[in-house]
Chains A and B, each alone.
Chain A
Amino acid sequence: MRSPRAVVAQVLPLVGLAVLILGPMAVAMDRLWAVTGTSPLAAALDLSPSGLEALRTATGLASLAAVATVACGVPVAFALAAMDDPWRRRLRALIALPFVCPSIVAAVGFLALMDLTGDVGQTVRGWTAWPEAGPGSVVLLTAMVWFNLSLAVRVVEPTVSRADPRYLEQLRLLPEGQTMVGRLRAWWLPLLGPGLTAAAGLTFTFAFTSFALVRWLAPDALTIEVLLAEQGSGAGIPGYRVDLSRLVLGAAMAQATVLLLAVSLVNTMQRRHRFAMDAASSHRVRAGLSAGLWGQPMVRWTLAWGAACFAVVPLALVALSSFRVRTATGWRFSLDGWRRALEGDAGGITLMEAFWSTLQTASLTVAIAVPAGWYLATQVQHAEREGRVRLARGLDLLAMVPLVVSGAMVGLGTLLGLLRLAPGWLASPWLLPVAHATLVLPIVVRVLLPAMRRLKPEFEACAATLGIGPLRRFVLVRWPMLRPAAVVAAGLALAFSLGEFGASWILVRSTDASTLAVLVDAWLARPGFDPTTRPAAMAVAMVLGMVTMVLMLLLERWREDRVHGGL
């Protein structure tokens, strides 16, 4: 029986975390409810035509993105699995690059791609992928696939590269293994299906809540996230545009519902995606794969290199465009864009100010998210070990809540919540890191928890019997064994914060600070009569892209071994 003090010590931080995660949402919902006189449920069920259009467009585009990502990711993963190291490792790293790339940099990269490909780019720019999404939506869809391709590759490639081909050979001898459909049903689908569905679900979630990409690549497309971010700031004001408050309330509820379904699907599929077989040797796997289509070097090299180039080209073009300035008759190469970005032009924030502010925000995000995620994951693990299944599930669910609210919603919730409760905090340097940490918490927990589950309790028990106290047990046993996972979690939190756009875009408007991601947007949104305006945006985007890549590279080198988290 634990003492009441121990229970309070355990429960209080949890309540604090719960209030941090749910508090802003609750206050924002309550305010919108009070302003509109409509309950969230009623607002969601009675969405206006533009709200319904936003829901249809977001769902349609995200579904297309999920299907296209899986369709493109599977062949690339097979091609990679059939390749030898070190090229397999190098190409895989290149393909993974977009996933940590800030979304605004990706948007700028694809804009540059459209521009530099001339008439072809212009024609593609006019194509529509979804009836209500307008021109540019094919480019948007391509960018969404670009972003998430590594999700599908990461799920399929390790599985395929460890699956013993002898199972498949044996299956071919059986009646259901005679046909391609039969092999698909009896082997590939059970093997890859749950993982691919989870990857598709995650792609759907990211695409559904995408803001920067939609804002710049398909400007006529109205999705829920665009609606919340661009029009949400006018919501929650008594007696002013009440129709807008009602729309925002309903849209937020509809978004949470759709995301809840998607995240539940991902969770269910991740639980099923366990690789239960013994891993085969890589030589044997490649021998098996080379018997078929993947034995053709042309096919696998074209696919893998194609995917790697596809990953890198938009980023390279950002760099090129930052030096390209238009003239009355054409183009010239110049450093004027960089000069303007560095000087901050008149009245703006300089590149270096945003650089330091971004690094500060990202560091504080890591400082909040990793301990909070560590604590939450520890509590889940303790509850699991003690057999308290419902408590474990509840805590796990709490950690997942931010996944069903988007960046824009967290930004709006924090803004409306703080305006009501503590408006002075809006100028605090902790505002953005707390919002970022809330958003990245599910990812941190998802990385730490599996590593904690793998940790054998006997080690700590053994140390305890030797009379080693809790603090030294942590330093000597727990931390060294969990450090790789903590580094991965910190890296993901860092990358997330560096590139986070939706919440930052809403929240920095209450402060005198900015982040690089928001600064790129500010330059893009500025009237571009002056020809150095767009190159200045490209210059800031390039710095943001480089900072993210370099930090991820450093972390990758520092990490001692690979950790496979739940994501």
Chain B
Amino acid sequence: MRSVLVVLLLLCAGLSGCLGEDLLFTEDCSEFEATLREDDGVLRVLTYDIASLSESFLSEFTNETGIEVELIRADDAGSILEQVLLYGGAPQVDVALGLDGSYLPFAVNRCLIHLHGVDLTGLDGAVLEEGASLTDHGVPFDHGYICLNVDGAAVDAMPTSLWNLTEEEWTGKVAIPSPLSSSPGRAFFLATLQGLGDDAWTWWEAMLLNEPIITTGWSEAYEIHYSGGYGVWEEGHIGDAAATVSYCHSPGVEAYYSDNSTQSTAIALPGGVYHQIEYGAVLAGAANTTAAEAFLAHLVSPDANAQMPYENLMYSVLEGADLPETNGYRHHSLVPDDAVAALGGMDVETLDIMLATFSALLEA
């Protein structure tokens, strides 16, 4: 028995003994050399459940280029980033698709993203301008704005400032996806940090004291807790929140699927609006960067990208594109003027500290 244990311990120690070597990462990317993934003739794309990657889109791409595509589905944008960071410099996929401006910088900062050569001509000027710090690394493929959505039937008056939400009238009635685990939640968090400036933390302290419903993800906040959305019709709805953080065009999507009717309204409160741009990025160490770039170019091609509002419920990044008018989709959607984007000049280390501070505030 003892001999079995000794062998076991030695084996396990052998497995774990060399850990720690990869814990350091270099900050100068010219010194960083990723391990190339072995080319098996298949382009591996890490993404969340992006609806626009339909069978027809993929087969059309394969027919045109002869490149086979395999989709690896992560849970959400946060999971994509975490997998990319876990792989480190030895990626098991070629493309990461779906990292937004608040997640992509973490991968860029660790030299895990390959500078792409995709031609971005024909894409929306505002998107390219607001995402300028990231477009060398990522190809923007869709975008949207994060806003507060309010159930018009559940409130007497619409809030005019984020500070209204800290008042007694709103106690326990605001659902916010956690910035620690949700990308719309993180976008809203960044909006407040940049939009409210020095007052941001005072607002969060006051807000957290007002018993908001902090959820793990967008679905829990919008579908289960928000009383103004489609969740009312779904199993398991609770409906205790009159307002939630979602997209400025969520009421438009509601109307699109409900014969132009919705009781949900998006409002652009100062410090509560974020322009979310989603990117596709080629990973450093990708087996075939040419194939990866061809894939991303296909994704932003006019025919494929124009379908974003229908298939991915997001804006297309094509110049001059807008939401369709069908069933009040465009009519009920809000396009805010003063949205902040990306990290707004903040570096990733600072954001990491901010998130840890938020976590500590939540625990207090």
| Contact with B82, one of A234, A345, A391 (Cβ below 8 angstroms) | A234
Whether the pair B234, A135 counts as a contact (CB closer than 8 A) is no
Report if A306 contacts B (CB, 8 A): no
| Docked complex Cα distance between A330 and B236 (Å) | 17
| Docked complex Cα distance between A49 and B352 (Å) | 20
Which chain A residues border B218 with CB–CB below 8 Å? 527
| Contact with A423, one of B87, B215, B237, B238 (Cβ below 8 angstroms) | B87
Nearest CB in chain B to that of A227: its residue: B216
Whether the pair A529, B257 counts as a contact (CB closer than 8 A) is yes
Report if A421 contacts B (CB, 8 A): yes
| Docked complex Cα distance between A49 and B360 (Å) | 9
Instruction: Say how far B223's CB is from chain A's closest CB, in angstroms.
Output: 6
| Contact with A219, one of B12, B75, B215 (Cβ below 8 angstroms) | B215
Interface string of B224-241 (1 = CB under 8 A from A): 100000110111111010
A412-458 contacts to B, CB under 8 A, are 415-417, 419-421, 423-424, 426-427
Which chain A residues border B29 with CB–CB below 8 Å? none
Given A23-B15, A220-B215, A419-B86: A111 in contact with B261 (beta carbons within 8 A): no
Whether the pair A135, B19 counts as a contact (CB closer than 8 A) is no
Report if A328 contacts B (CB, 8 A): yes
Whether the pair B1, A136 counts as a contact (CB closer than 8 A) is no
Whether the pair B82, A233 counts as a contact (CB closer than 8 A) is yes
Report if B154 contacts A (CB, 8 A): no
| Contact with A509, one of B54, B83, B359 (Cβ below 8 angstroms) | B83
Given A526-B49, A528-B231: A509 in contact with B74 (beta carbons within 8 A): yes
A220-251 contacts to B, CB under 8 A, are 220, 230-231, 233-234, 236-241, 243-244
Report if A367 contacts B (CB, 8 A): no
| Contact with A22, one of B3, B12, B52, B86 (Cβ below 8 angstroms) | B12
Nearest CB in chain A to that of B38: its residue: A424
Whether the pair B20, A34 counts as a contact (CB closer than 8 A) is yes
| Docked complex Cα distance between A69 and B75 (Å) | 34
Report if B7 contacts A (CB, 8 A): yes
| Contact with A534, one of B11, B217, B234, B253 (Cβ below 8 angstroms) | B234
Report if B162 contacts A (CB, 8 A): no
Whether the pair B236, A11 counts as a contact (CB closer than 8 A) is no
Which of B65-73, B187-195, B295-303 lines the interface with chain A? B65-73
Which of A24-32, A81-89, A265-273, A297-305 lines the interface with chain B? A24-32
| Contact with A238, one of B22, B79, B238 (Cβ below 8 angstroms) | B22
Q: Chain A interface secondary structure, helix, strand, loop or mixed?
A: helix
Given A34-B23, A111-B235, A220-B215: A421 in contact with B254 (beta carbons within 8 A): no
Nearest CB in chain A to that of B20: its residue: A34
| Contact with A421, one of B15, B20, B54 (Cβ below 8 angstroms) | B15
| Docked complex Cα distance between A512 and B47 (Å) | 10
Nearest CB in chain A to that of B247: its residue: A527
Whether the pair B240, A27 counts as a contact (CB closer than 8 A) is no
Whether the pair B85, A528 counts as a contact (CB closer than 8 A) is no
Interface string of B246-264 (1 = CB under 8 A from A): 0000000110111101000
Whether the pair B72, A114 counts as a contact (CB closer than 8 A) is no
Which chain A residues border B49 with CB–CB below 8 Å? 347-348, 522, 525-526
| Docked complex Cα distance between A27 and B106 (Å) | 25
Which of A13-21, A57-65, A174-182 lines the interface with chain B? A13-21
Given A243-B359, A525-B219, A526-B49: A420 in contact with B19 (beta carbons within 8 A): yes
Instruction: Say how far A387's CB is from chain B's closest CB, in angstroms.
Output: 13
Which chain A residues border B50 with CB–CB below 8 Å? 347
Select the residue from B19, B20, B74 with max chain A CB neighbours within 10 A: B19
Whether the pair A347, B4 counts as a contact (CB closer than 8 A) is no
Whether the pair A346, B11 counts as a contact (CB closer than 8 A) is no
Report if B78 contacts A (CB, 8 A): yes
| Contact with B234, one of A328, A509, A528 (Cβ below 8 angstroms) | A528
Report if B202 contacts A (CB, 8 A): no
| Docked complex Cα distance between A244 and B44 (Å) | 28
Which chain A residues border B352 with CB–CB below 8 Å? 240-241
| Docked complex Cα distance between A531 and B230 (Å) | 8
Report if A50 contacts B (CB, 8 A): yes
| Contact with B223, one of A18, A391, A511, A528 (Cβ below 8 angstroms) | A528
**Size of chain A's interface in residues, with CB distance under 8 A?**
80
Given A11-B3, A18-B8, A240-B85: A233 in contact with B235 (beta carbons within 8 A): no
Report if B25 contacts A (CB, 8 A): yes
Report if B115 contacts A (CB, 8 A): no
| Contact with A347, one of B71, B82, B355 (Cβ below 8 angstroms) | B71
Whether the pair B71, A512 counts as a contact (CB closer than 8 A) is yes
| Docked complex Cα distance between A509 and B98 (Å) | 15
Which chain A residues border B79 with CB–CB below 8 Å? 233, 509
Instruction: Say how far A539's CB is from chain B's closest CB, in angstroms.
Output: 14
Report if A216 contacts B (CB, 8 A): yes
Given A347-B49, A347-B71, A509-B72: A136 in contact with B261 (beta carbons within 8 A): no
Report if B213 contacts A (CB, 8 A): yes
A1-60 contacts to B, CB under 8 A, are 11, 14-15, 18-19, 22-23, 26-27, 30-31, 34-35, 48-50
| Contact with B12, one of A19, A115, A136, A239 (Cβ below 8 angstroms) | A19
Which chain A residues border B206 with CB–CB below 8 Å? none
| Docked complex Cα distance between A363 and B253 (Å) | 42
Which chain B residues border A27 with CB–CB below 8 Å? 12, 15-16, 19
Instruction: Say how far A313's CB is from chain B's closest CB, in angstroms.
Output: 14
Instruction: Say how far B76's CB is from chain A's closest CB, in angstroms.
Output: 9
A490-527 contacts to B, CB under 8 A, are 508-512, 514, 522, 525-527
Report if A154 contacts B (CB, 8 A): no
Nearest CB in chain A to that of B222: its residue: A527
| Contact with A233, one of B1, B83, B240 (Cβ below 8 angstroms) | B83
Report if B51 contacts A (CB, 8 A): yes
Interface string of B1-35 (1 = CB under 8 A from A): 10111011001100110011011110000000000
Whether the pair B257, A531 counts as a contact (CB closer than 8 A) is yes
B267-289 contacts to A, CB under 8 A, are none
Instruction: Say how far B104's CB is from chain A's closest CB, in angstroms.
Output: 14
Instruction: Say how far B30's CB is from chain A's closest CB, in angstroms.
Output: 20
| Docked complex Cα distance between A126 and B224 (Å) | 11
Which chain A residues border B82 with CB–CB below 8 Å? 233-234, 237
Which chain B residues border A136 with CB–CB below 8 Å? 236, 238
Which chain A residues border B4 with CB–CB below 8 Å? 11, 14-15, 18, 394
Given A22-B8, A238-B22: A125 in contact with B238 (beta carbons within 8 A): yes
Given A26-B12, A239-B25: A346 in contact with B54 (beta carbons within 8 A): yes
Interface string of B330-358 (1 = CB under 8 A from A): 00000000000000000000001001100
Report if A409 contacts B (CB, 8 A): no
Nearest CB in chain B to that of A233: its residue: B82
Nearest CB in chain B to that of A121: its residue: B235
| Docked complex Cα distance between A446 and B237 (Å) | 41
Report if A151 contacts B (CB, 8 A): no
Given A23-B12, A427-B92: A238 in contact with B25 (beta carbons within 8 A): yes
Report if A361 contacts B (CB, 8 A): no
Instruction: Say how far B6's CB is from chain A's closest CB, in angstroms.
Output: 10
Given A114-B236, A230-B216, A528-B230: A238 in contact with B71 (beta carbons within 8 A): no
Residues in chain A within 8 A of chain B (CB atoms): 11, 14-15, 18-19, 22-23, 26-27, 30-31, 34-35, 48-50, 108, 111-112, 114-115, 122, 125-126, 135-136, 216-217, 219-220, 230-231, 233-234, 236-241, 243-244, 321, 326, 328, 344-349, 388, 390-391, 394, 415-417, 419-421, 423-424, 426-427, 508-512, 514, 522, 525-531, 534
**What are 15 of the A-B contact pairs (CB < 8 Å)?**
A26-B16, A27-B16, A217-B236, A238-B24, A241-B355, A328-B258, A346-B52, A347-B51, A416-B86, A420-B19, A424-B92, A509-B72, A512-B44, A531-B233, A534-B234
Given contacts A510-B72, A525-B75, 15 further A-B contacts (CB under 8 A): A15-B4, A15-B7, A34-B20, A49-B364, A108-B235, A115-B234, A126-B238, A233-B75, A233-B86, A237-B85, A238-B25, A345-B51, A420-B19, A424-B38, A427-B92
6 smallest beta-carbon distances between A and B, as pairs: A111-B235, A30-B16, A346-B54, A115-B235, A347-B53, A238-B23
